[in-house]
């Protein structure tokens, strides 16, 4: 059975429990009306749950470490016989059956609905809050047990607190990171390639030309014919 079916089955069982209490206290019109209204509240919750899209339940199923499925399975069953239950025990059983559903299941549904769509979240939130508030008022009025009254009040406060928590993030698994040695190798190769690029980019240094000194003119040698002396220059 899927999660929504399990919740609907449990809540249908709770409706039947309230119907039996309605018959159990038929002589007291106030108490009979109380259980009748409680049964109607839970019936409206069932109709709202059935109208939720299947994609919502898939998101809850794929949420890591949400504990939603285990919360659904851990919800207690109603007592089989309601004929001999006292009024005080009726309120205690109602809180026992309501507490895990409201805090562990309904609050998470409201958070996820609020993240995806505003209107369904508000509708479902008001349905659940109205039911819990009714349970608090009737427990305060008819149970006569301060401990039960405190439990009912804490249930309403706990629901308000859980609803304000952020919706769970559904993230894909993180990719595997390569080993540290593999990271360093590309870095070293990159540095070497950068150095090579810088070397090739640098222009060669220009060599300054050293000016050459003019060479001294060597005296020209005059060849003479054999047997003749060179002519001398006569002075004026």
Structure tokens at 213: 């000194």
- Residue 24 belongs to what domain range? 3-164
Q: How many domains does the chain have?
A: 1
Q: Is residue 23 part of a domain?
A: yes
Give mean pLDDT, residues 94-104: 91
Residue 37 in domain: yes
> Is the pTM higher than 0.85?
no
**Residue 188 within a domain:** no
Is 133 part of a structural domain of the chain? yes
Residue 216 above 90 pLDDT? no
Confirm if 156 and 54 have CB atoms less than 8 A apart: no
Asked if 118 and 99 count as a contact pair (C-beta separation under 8 A), the reply is: no
Report H helices in 101-117: 107-116
Answer whether residue 39 is part of any domain: yes
Query: Is 224 domain-assigned?
Result: no
pLDDT digits (tens, 9 = 90+) for 146-189: 999 999 999 999 999 988 876 555 444 445 555 555 444 454 44
CB 103 within 8 A of CB 165: no
183 domain-assigned: no
Does 220 fall in a domain?
Answer: no
**In degrees rounded to 5, what are phi and psi of residue 160?**
-60, -40
Is the separation of the CB atoms in 134 and 40 below 8 Å?
A: no
* Residue 99 CB coordination number (10 Å): 20
């Amino acid at each position: 059975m899927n999660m929504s079916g399990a919740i609907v089955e449990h809540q249908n069982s709770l409706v039947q429990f309230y119907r039996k209490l309605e018959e159990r206290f038929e002589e007291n019109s106030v108490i009979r009306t109380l259980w009748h209204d409680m049964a109607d509240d839970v019936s409206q919750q069932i109709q709202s749950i059935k109208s939720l899209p299947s994609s919502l339940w898939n998101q809850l199923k794929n949420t890591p470490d949400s504990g939603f499925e285990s919360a659904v399975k851990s919800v207690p069953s109603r007592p089989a016989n309601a004929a001999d239950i006292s009024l005080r025990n009726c309120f205690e059983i109602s809180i026992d059956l309501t507490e895990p559903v409201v805090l562990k299941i309904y609050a998470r549904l409201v958070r996820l609905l609020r993240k995806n769509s505003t209107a369904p979240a508000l509708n479902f939130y008001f349905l659940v809050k109205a039911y819990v508030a009714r349970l608090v008022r009737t427990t305060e009025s008819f149970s006569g047990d301060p401990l039960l009254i405190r439990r009912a009040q804490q249930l309403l406060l706990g629901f308000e607190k859980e609803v304000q928590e952020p919706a769970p993030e559904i993230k894909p698994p993180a990719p595997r990171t390569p080993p540290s040695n593999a990271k360093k190798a590309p870095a070293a190769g990159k540095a070497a390639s950068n150095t090579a690029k810088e070397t090739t980019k640098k222009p060669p240094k220009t060599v300054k030309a050293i000016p050459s000194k003019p060479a001294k003119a060597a005296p020209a040698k005059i060849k003479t014919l054999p047997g003749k002396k060179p002519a001398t220059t006569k002075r004026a």
